[in-house]
Structure 1
Amino acid sequence: MRIRNLFILLIGVVSMNVHAQTQALSKDEAIIRSNIQSFSAMADQGAFEYLGRLFAPQVTVDYTSLFGGEAAPVDRTDLMKQWAAFLPGFDATYHDLSNLRVDVNRNSASASADITASHWLGDDGFWAVSGNYEFTLQKSGDNWVITSVKLNSQSESGSRDILGEAPKNAEQNLSTEQSELVKL
């Protein structure tokens, strides 16, 4: 009986070790996952200086499924200025990423994630878009930078009317947020 229990325990430990090894992330995949998760969190927090370092100097942004137009390369500094002139104008935003999938191929990678981006303004203003993001990334030293981001919009709720109102508040709200930063 004692040998049987020891054998069962040994089999359990071995299977847990094998399972842990198959579930372990590579360093590159961990960096990519952290950067993609940070992409949404930093945008919601108005941390555009830090958000910008997640991108290559030139990044292709494709929101054509939502707004039409053409996908276009943009300088990361210009992209951060565009987002800083828009996102802080909302009372709150929450970009909820889920089902993050990453595929690393040497010095390039692709990632995708489901997204629901919610935006609130005033007492009744709300707009959300759901779909998925597709990212391409390139290894840059010890980091991975986003070289393209594409939104595949699938559904919307609320009213797009708040999109025109938010930029009116962005500069003041961003200034207020930055005044609350902890100086080191």
Structure 2
Amino acid sequence: MEKLIIEQVTKVFQGADERNWQKVAVVMDKHVMLDYSSMTGSPASLLTPEQITSAWAAFLPGFDRTNHTLSDFKVQVKDDVASVTYLGKADHFYNAKVWTVEGSYTTQLKLNNDNWLVTAHTFHFKQQGGDTTLVSEVSNKMQRLEITEKNRKVVGNFFIALETQNFEMLKEIFAENGKQLNPYSPEGFPKSFEGSESIYKQYSGLTNYFGQMNFPRQIFATEDPNYFFVKFRGEIEIKAGGKYENDYIGTFKLENGKVVEYIEYFNQVVMAKAFNIDLK
């Protein structure tokens, strides 16, 4: 029984090192009292496995790898409740540097349908060493990644709005003072649209001339989480007959989760041939 209990405890750390959050969650009860106050200063909290793994997943993957070493297990069992104390050392590796945390743990488990599940998990901080600046460095990295992924979705929604012809979405995608620039537009076509309402009216008016629109695309993030390049192709059905196809490059600049500037580049020659435009 002691071996089985220790295996359950060990899975918490193995799952964290493997970034296998399901492995962590399945050994936890519906709620776990998580206490890292001796290190963080934050009070203990009663959390669900999903809340715990979400918090860990928002931080630990920022390291190149982590390695938890556990030892000196002592198990006490009374009826259907177990308490396990043990020593722990956690090495966090990033860019050829390491941050090490050492201490001991007390983990409590309860027997539930022949399965031991963690109900409380407390870390008793002893010391840390190595490069302690990695904490803030990795935290900043993960924050940038979070912003990048949120903004990537906003950029993707721009194309979804056009493909589904749900143009109302554009009012949420663009900031109120957002703008679209079309530097390659030929004479007689607008070079820019100022404000989300103007952008909405421009695109919603396309349904007078065009049917289904598809934009196969590749979205490229940059080091700046608020700036994206998009390479895409327009495959647009013309209601009067035929199809308009062109290749595009778009750049998106965002602030606070809204597009403040979209610049669109396309092949002018292809457009001119499709709509009998004189580029002279």
Cα RMSD of the aligned pairs, angstroms, is 1.7
Q: 1:40 maps to which residue?
A: 13
Cα distance in 1 for partners of 2:31, 2:132 equals 29
Cα distance in 2 for partners of 1:87, 1:132 equals 20
Match of 1:133 among 105, 114, 138: 105
Q: 1:93 maps to which residue?
A: 66
- On the 8 A contact 1:65/1:152 being kept in 2, the answer is yes
AA aligned to 2:79 is: R
SS in 2 for 1:109: strand
Pairing of 1:67-82 with structure 2 (within 5 A): 67-82=40-55
What runs of 5+ residues in structure 2 fail to find an aligned partner? 147-280
Q: 1:163 maps to which residue?
A: 135
Q: Which has the higher strand share?
A: 2
Cα distance in 1 for partners of 2:62, 2:112 equals 32
SS in 1 for 2:51: helix
SS in 2 for 1:77: helix
Deviation string 1:148-168 (CA, Å, 9 cap, x unpaired) is 111101111023321223242
Deviation string 1:67-118 (CA, Å, 9 cap, x unpaired) is 1121111111111111111111101111100011111111001001100111
What runs of 5+ residues in structure 1 fail to find an aligned partner? 1-27, 173-184
1:52 aligns with 2:59: no
- On the 8 A contact 2:12/2:23 being kept in 1, the answer is no
AA aligned to 1:154 is: K
TM-score normalised per structure 2: 0.49
1:105 aligns with 2:78: yes
Shift of 1:65: 0.8
AA aligned to 1:49 is: Q
AA aligned to 2:125 is: S
1:121 aligns with 2:94: yes
1:148 aligns with 2:120: yes
SS in 2 for 1:127: strand
- Percent identity at matched positions? 28
The higher relative CO (CA closer than 8 Å, separation ≥ 6) is in 1
Deviation string 1:44-70 (CA, Å, 9 cap, x unpaired) is 011101110111111011111111121
Q: 1:12 maps to which residue?
A: none
Segments ≥4 residues shifted beyond 3 Å: 169-172
TM-score normalised per structure 1: 0.73
Cα distance in 2 for partners of 1:169, 1:69 equals 20
SS in 1 for 2:134: helix
SS in 2 for 1:166: helix
- On the 8 A contact 1:31/1:143 being kept in 2, the answer is no
- On the 8 A contact 2:35/2:122 being kept in 1, the answer is yes
SS in 1 for 2:43: coil
Q: Which has the higher helix share?
A: 1
SS in 2 for 1:101: strand
Cα distance in 1 for partners of 2:55, 2:42 equals 16
Shift of 1:31: 1.7
Shift of 1:169: 4.7
